Chain A
Amino acid sequence: MNARSVRESHRGASTDRHPGSPAWAPPLVLAGLIVIAWAVSSSLADSAVYPGPAEALESLWSDLSSSRFLGSVVDTARVLLLSYGAAVVIGSVAGMMLGLSAFWSGAALPLVYALNSIPKIVLYPIFLLFLGIGDMSRGSFAFVSGVLPMFLIMVEATAGVSRLHLKMSASLGMSRWSLIRRIVVPSVLPSLAAGMRLCFGLTLIGLLLAEMFSGSSGLGYELLRNLSLARVENIMGQVLLIGVLALVPTLALQQLELRIRRRYEVTA
């Protein structure tokens, strides 16, 4: 995740308005086509390992009425919220601190970028060795997956604060604290919002991967449990559920990002 992809996702969040049919029509048609293709191909294949959408929803419905599964959903949501919150707060504050010093950013960033380009999942056994199987290890792993990109985004954003504004604050003799509160924070808010959106997806992926590798509850664990029981329709149903659970916060964060950008983005 480098500065460029961050910029790209800035642009990506803006929805362009076209006259004519409403913006949501074509994506919905595409989704409908995919569901129809899924239903038709599964009924043609008529195979036990390729269930159709109706069977998937049916088994999801029966899963949702089991208290063990609901417990797993709640577990995942709880760990996700904690690690996501920690990743956003720690990543953005630490990123801002480092970003204010160009020299130390230059010294430390290569290491952080290198660390970030390692496929983090292979580091997960280390978390297990030190923290044991449970909420601590998967939570910390999800935190690490989310905090590095958040940190990098915030360092780049803080380094990009307009020099003119910095000079102004210097000539006004602003204290360090009011510099951060009145100049830095408002300038980095759009990046912070974009970072929060990216960080959410990455934390969730980290958490699910950790649960899939080893866990005693959680959505990732349920997926692999159903795999060993060869209950594909349950897996499909749960994948749909995970998709919905991931989409709702993402769309909310996208809206937040749009609002913040309208209010705070500096257009040169």
Chain B
Amino acid sequence: MTARSVVPAYVRPTPARVAGMPARGWTLVLLVVMVASLELYARSGAVSRLDLIPVSEMATRSIELLGDRDFVVDALLRSALLICVSFVASALVGVGVAYAMSRYRWIHRAMKPYVNVFYALPIFALYPVMVVMFGTGMVPIILLATLFSVVIVIANSLVGFESTPPIVTKLARSLEMTPSQQLRKILLPSALPDILAGLKLGLGYAIIAVLATEFILATTGLGQVVNRAYNNFNTVDMYAGIVFVSVFALLANLTLSAALSSFDWRRR
């Protein structure tokens, strides 16, 4: 832009390119600059190898981990299984509770305040209690991860159920539909976009809960791999584990987003 405009930048139409590059290109540039500066900083010798290793080493080591049978079976598959179980449980329970809340006013009024404040409560404080009761196996992790992710599913599905147009509910009544017909033919399809948004967040929350609980206290699992490497001063494995977990979480989120948005009728 050579000619200076009197129109301030914030009301001008968004430029398609800045310095000849679209926004996506700049995203890539930012990413490359960040990774490269980390790499250079680690290689410059200004920082101890015990504190930071070059990004390239993190990446190669995390790819090596994929070939390690113990890592794949004990950590990766186990964590993935825990995440799947908690996600499915919270999806089923969450949509069910939201339906009950939208159907019965009393349940709605009893539970809504708790749904509103739930994420202000540090629910991970309950993890030690669950460990004492159920041991350090899979049960406390699944319970906590389900509890942590179910509320966001409830909150979103409830918004979906409540935004069903009243005219359609009236139509259902005049057609004398049974409650289950109403649920299958009207409520679920109409609430679907919001439920899907809730499920997407729910998966993110389930991943966070599983990895955090494994990280704090567990015998094995992805989170525990990072914890153990840190405690053994094994910086290479620790960074490799962190990179692995980050990529794993990103891929899981992206895959589910892509899978879910193909069901979303609002985006078709």
Contacts and interface: CB of A to CB of B under 8 A. Distances in A.
A129 B132 contact: no
Given A27-B114, A166-B10, A242-B122, 5 more contacts: A117-B250, A121-B223, A125-B227, A170-B8, A219-B125
Contact of B125 (A4, A170, A208): A208
A118 B250 contact: yes
Given A121-B223, A122-B245, A205 B122 contact: yes
A192 interface: no
A101 B9 contact: yes
Given A102-B14, A197-B120, A27 B113 contact: yes
Interface string A219-230: 110011011001
Contacts of A123: 242
Nearest to A113: B253
Given A8-B159, A235-B128, A122 B122 contact: no
B134 to A, nearest CB: 10
Interface of A: 2, 4-5, 8-9, 11-13, 15, 18, 23, 26-27, 29-30, 49-50, 100-104, 106-108, 110-111, 114, 117-126, 128-130, 163, 166-167, 170, 176, 179, 197-198, 200-202, 204-205, 208-209, 212-213, 219-220, 223-224, 226-227, 230, 232, 235-236, 238-239, 242-243, 246-247, 249-251, 254
A108 B23 CA distance: 8
22 contacts: A5-B156, A27-B111, A49-B132, A101-B9, A104-B23, A119-B223, A121-B212, A121-B216, A122-B246, A125-B230, A128-B230, A129-B52, A166-B11, A208-B122, A212-B127, A213-B215, A224-B217, A235-B129, A235-B132, A238-B125, A242-B122, A251-B117
A15 B132 CA distance: 37
Contact of B124 (A126, A176, A212, A251): A212
B58 to A, nearest CB: 11
Can you list the 6 inter-chain pairs with the closest CB atoms, starting with the nearest? A201-B120, A107-B26, A26-B110, A106-B23, A250-B120, A125-B230
B119 interface: yes
B11 A119 contact: no
A118 B9 CA distance: 34
Nearest to A224: B128
A36 B51 CA distance: 51
Nearest to B106: A26
Interface string B225-245: 011001000010010011001
Contacts of A209: 124, 212, 216
B230 A119 contact: no
A230 to B, nearest CB: 7
B116 A254 contact: yes
A250 B242 CA distance: 32
Contact of A246 (B8, B109, B121, B215): B121
B7 interface: yes
Nearest to A225: B128
B11 A170 contact: yes
B120 A119 contact: no
Contact of B10 (A5, A50, A179, A197): A179
B116 A227 contact: no
A8 B226 contact: no
Most buried by A among B105, B207, B227: B227
A121 B226 CA distance: 10
Nearest to B252: A117
Contact of A119 (B117, B125, B249): B249
Contact of B223 (A50, A122, A167): A122
Contacts of A129: 50-52, 230, 235
Given A123-B242, A246-B120, A117 B253 contact: yes
Interface in B172-214: 197, 201, 204, 207-208, 211-212
A125 B204 CA distance: 21
Interface in B65-121: 105-106, 109-117, 119-121
Nearest to B203: A117
Interface in B1-55: 7-11, 14-15, 18, 23-24, 26-27, 30-31, 50-52
